[in-house]
Structure 1
Amino acid sequence: MTKIILVTDTNASLPKEIIEKYQIIEVPINIQFSDESYVTGETIDDEKLFSLIDDRNIIPTTAAPSPSAFEGAYQTALDRGAKKILCICCSGEVSATYNSAVMAKENFPEADIHVIDSRGLSLAEGFQVLAAAEAIEVGKDLPEIIKTIEHVRDRTIVYAALPTLKYLAMGGRMGKLAAGVGNTLEIKPILTLREGKLDLLEKVRTWRKAKQRLVELAVDEAKGTVIERVGLIHVNNEEGVLALYEDLKAALDINLAPILAEFTPGLSVHTGSGVIAFSLVLGKEK
């Protein structure tokens, strides 16, 4: 059986136990506070990120991995005996990560490397990586694995609720006056993944209504389908997202073990702390 090794980036939000189980090679997103650089998954996580943001009152910048970072990942895969390398990257609509992975491939002309733009973020990317890992484990060949990835990509939904506009204002994504008014009125944005980007879907009043709206969206999307996989995503709010799952279980009549994931700094820096979100992979119609 041809040995296929997976490479991805930390924006896939995959828990460490999954990365380790399938021996996936992760390339980290970098976080830059002025002259200080941090590496996602190594020197910074969501908790530390927002501790630094609140302490310094600034939003850092993010940096996609360089081509040389992917070159290192590919070389590691080859050193492990890979005959084929499958690299799945976060959406090229919002990050240069995919371009870096493609550029790095050019320095390995003899290697069989395939780079895929997941057009996803967080578990919308991570579920594609996980599906590929499971397909590799059962011995599927590369064309079958790519078909599996495409199925997951086309059938995955993500919805998120933001409890505060504070961090959007700090990052310049909305005016501070508008954010102040929004917080006073308890306006909570609902985000979704569209065309490879996290976009504002709607705004609701109060956190309670935001959580209710997430459940309503899940019910609407899943109607008449079989739910293949469930993901719970949060930014420093595990308790909140687990409570959301209890509501989702009741509304969707599911009993799947969810994947619990942190958004990770490369993404959470753009949304703020306290976020709760879910991701579903929807299968065939019932």
Structure 2
Amino acid sequence: MSNSIRVLTDSTADLSVETAQRLGIRILPLHFSLEGEDYCDDGTLDRSCFYQRLAQSGEMPQTAAPGVGEILTFYEELVTEGAEDIIAIFLANSLSSTQANAQLAARELGGARVHLLESGQISRGLGFLVQAAAEALARGATVVEVKELVIALRQRTYIIGVLDTLEYLKRSGRVSWVTAQLGQWLKVKPLIAFHAGEARLWGRVRTRRRARAWLLRQVAEAGPLERLVLLHSGLAEESWMALHEAMQPYAPCGQLPVVEVNPIFGTHIGPQGVGVAWVQAEGAGKVW
């Protein structure tokens, strides 16, 4: 793959270090603070420990988008490595000011063109788009072709999941309908979907067993799928293993990766959540 076109994303894409290195993807770490301590989501954080602390803490972590100067430094490093075009795909605009800051940084950059693409996604929903862009470049795609690919995939990419509570979404202030409906959702498990930058409340159930049966049904009905990943926020392996086994037949190529989601996403959804990210195959019926 030529170094003249590079892909930049942020740490909420939940891409593995191996995938990023193999495809030449540069990852911008996001920041957060918890109980007065500042952290950088640079791949060294123990996510299981983070979710344990989140569950025990009475404080809501504070997340922060990288500043214009920090993003500009990443751009400049890519230019130094030979980049003439930078395809930047960050978490959804509705969730963060990262893309707005990236736009400001792009105006200050010399030596390369920055192409900012709205993902409308987070976690592996974002990661799918970023990985597909880098894989297309490795096959010789142009910047225009990559843009068209990302726009097309964005419409077929979803995250759905079951939260343990709506309390963390309420505290985050990122989803307007939560506060109005919170009182109706005590002691039930909210079923949430995220697509094209919008979070929707899909339903509610009273038990985890019913919630996971709902998840499995959604996966079965959404197919065929091009990509599928099981997501969770701090669940022990025994809590997601049965669901993983049940979903395995729907996984493309029979492989179903499991991802413990990043702390930025986890701050908004809270611990003990479980869900999936998928890309539908072309021609599959829309989820909504």
- TM-score for both structures, normalised by structure 2: 0.86
Q: Distance in 2 between matches of 1:18 and 1:242?
A: 24
Q: Deviations over 1:43-71 (max 9, x none)?
A: 63432323333454211111111111211
Write the letter of the residue equivalent to 1:282.
Answer: Q
Q: Deviations over 1:187-230 (max 9, x none)?
A: 111111144033322111100000000111122222xxx32111
The question of whether the paired residues in 1 share the 8 Å contact of 2:7 and 2:26 is answered with yes
Q: Distance in 1 between matches of 2:235 and 2:267?
A: 15
Structure 1, 45-54 or 82-91: larger mean CA deviation: 45-54
RMSD of the TM alignment (CA)?
A: 2.6
Is 1:188 matched with 2:189? yes
SS at structure 2 position matched to 1:228: strand
Q: Distance in 2 between matches of 1:81 and 1:151?
A: 28
Is 1:203 matched with 2:198? no
Q: Deviations over 1:49-105 (max 9, x none)?
A: 233334542111111111112111111111211121111011101210110111110
Match of 1:216 in 2: 217
Q: Distance in 1 between matches of 2:19 and 2:277?
A: 17
Match of 2:29 in 1: 28
Structure 1, 256-265 or 97-106: larger mean CA deviation: 256-265
Cα 1:50–1:110 change in 2 (3 A) is same
The question of whether the paired residues in 2 share the 8 Å contact of 1:159 and 1:277 is answered with yes
Shift of 1:150: 1.5
Cα 1:66–1:217 change in 2 (3 A) is same
Alignment gaps of 5+ in structure 1? none
- Runs of 4+ in structure 1 deviating by more than 6 angstroms, as ranges, are 169-173
Q: Distance in 1 between matches of 2:4 and 2:236?
A: 36
Q: Distance in 2 between matches of 1:49 and 1:141?
A: 40
- TM-score for both structures, normalised by structure 1: 0.86
The question of whether the paired residues in 1 share the 8 Å contact of 2:159 and 2:195 is answered with no
The question of whether the paired residues in 2 share the 8 Å contact of 1:84 and 1:112 is answered with yes
Is 1:124 matched with 2:132? no
Match of 1:282 in 2: 280
SS at structure 2 position matched to 1:115: strand
The question of whether the paired residues in 2 share the 8 Å contact of 1:19 and 1:25 is answered with yes
Number of residue pairs matched by the alignment: 277
Q: Distance in 2 between matches of 1:133 and 1:144?
A: 12
